[in-house]
């Protein structure tokens, strides 16, 4: 046992005294850089060379800023090349692998910060949308009908009839709706589309009105097939006040936003 320890000590002493070291990347010229990278790679066991290749790729791409590269042109290429050489020069295989691990860690942390920031932003929009939804519910849809009126030489004119009551505290200049034409029991509606109406003279708090809103016959309203068992329902999505500015809206937090929020929370939970 003592003999083995003595041999190990002698080997270490000899390597240290002769200046033994692992091969390092030399970026003093393109030729030396290429040759030294190959030498550094070959110094590794066969089963670790793929790890080195991946680490080298991560290190190289971490120095590339595509936006600046395209803007700066040839100058940008030279800057990127200099940064790449600086990031590799004098490093051993182990140091390059360790450097890539640090880059991946920092990238992961940056991605997490970005995800948390987006979650916070979407949750803020969601909270506002929920508050606005409560206010929008006060603008009541008392009656809703959708039909097509046959006109001579024109054909079926799509018409939406609405009776509404403004239960909010504010005069309303324009209302935005989502109309859904669906048959009970069917999972997919025949039509789901937005429409809006600029109210002549507005609608004061407590007022009720009935509107006949003609839709573009070349739009989806004009092309939808009518079904006798279909029910037409309407949801209020946004209300504009007397100054034509938005009072309440759920349009800023869409179904896609809700899906995105759920996806981001899954990402955070998985890390």
The SS3 call for residue 192 is strand
pLDDT winner (highest mean) among 61-70, 73-82, 106-115, 262-271: 106-115
* More confidently predicted of 192 and 267: 192
Rounded percentage of the chain residues whose pLDDT exceeds 90 = 73
Q: What's residue 130's pLDDT?
A: 93
Q: Which two tokens stand for residue 223?
A: 């092309």
Rounded CA-CA distance 35/41 in Å is 10
Q: What's residue 103's pLDDT?
A: 92
Confidence of residue 187 (pLDDT cuts 50, 70, 90): very high
CATH code of the domain occupying 137-240: 2.60.40
pLDDT higher than threshold 50 for residue 10: no
Are the CB atoms for 237 and 249 separated by under 8 Å?
yes
Per residue in 173-184, pLDDT (tens digit) is 999 999 999 999
Rounded CA-CA distance 100/58 in Å is 6
pLDDT higher than threshold 70 for residue 61: yes
* Range with lowest mean pLDDT among 9-23, 61-75, 162-176: 9-23
Measured in residues, the chain has a length of 271
Q: What's residue 155's pLDDT?
A: 79
Q: What's residue 17's pLDDT?
A: 43
Q: Where are the domains of the chain?
A: 22-132, 137-240
Per residue in 94-117, pLDDT (tens digit) is 999 999 999 999 999 999 999 999
């Amino acid at each position: 046992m003592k003999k083995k320890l003595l041999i190990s000590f002698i080997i270490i002493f000899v390597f240290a005294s002769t200046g033994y070291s692992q091969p390092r990347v030399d970026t003093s010229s393109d030729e030396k850089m290429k040759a030294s990278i190959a030498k550094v790679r070959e110094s590794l066991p066969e089963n670790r060379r793929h790890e080195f290749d991946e680490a080298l790729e991560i290190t190289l791409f971490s120095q590339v800023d595509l936006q600046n590269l395209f803007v700066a042109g040839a100058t940008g290429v030279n800057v990127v090349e200099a940064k790449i050489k600086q990031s590799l020069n004098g490093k051993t295989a182990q140091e390059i692998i360790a450097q890539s691990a640090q880059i991946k860690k920092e990238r992961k942390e940056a991605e997490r910060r970005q995800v948390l920031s987006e979650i916070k932003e979407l949750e803020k929009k969601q909270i506002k949308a929920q508050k606005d939804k409560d206010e929008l519910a006060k603008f009541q849809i008392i009656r809703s009908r959708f039909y097509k009126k046959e006109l001579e030489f024109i054909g079926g004119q799509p018409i939406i009839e609405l009776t509404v009551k403004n239960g909010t505290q504010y005069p309303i200049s324009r209302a935005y709706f989502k109309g859904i034409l669906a048959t009970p029991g069917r999972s997919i509606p025949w039509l789901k589309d937005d429409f809006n109406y600029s109210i002549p003279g507005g609608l004061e708090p407590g007022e009720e009105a009935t509107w006949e809103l003609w839709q573009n016959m070349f739009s989806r309203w004009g092309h939808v097939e009518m079904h006798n068992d279909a029910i037409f329902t309407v949801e209020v999505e946004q209300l504009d006040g007397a100054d034509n500015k938005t009072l309440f809206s759920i349009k800023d937090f869409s179904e896609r936003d809700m899906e995105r929020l759920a996806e981001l929370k899954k990402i955070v939970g998985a890390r």
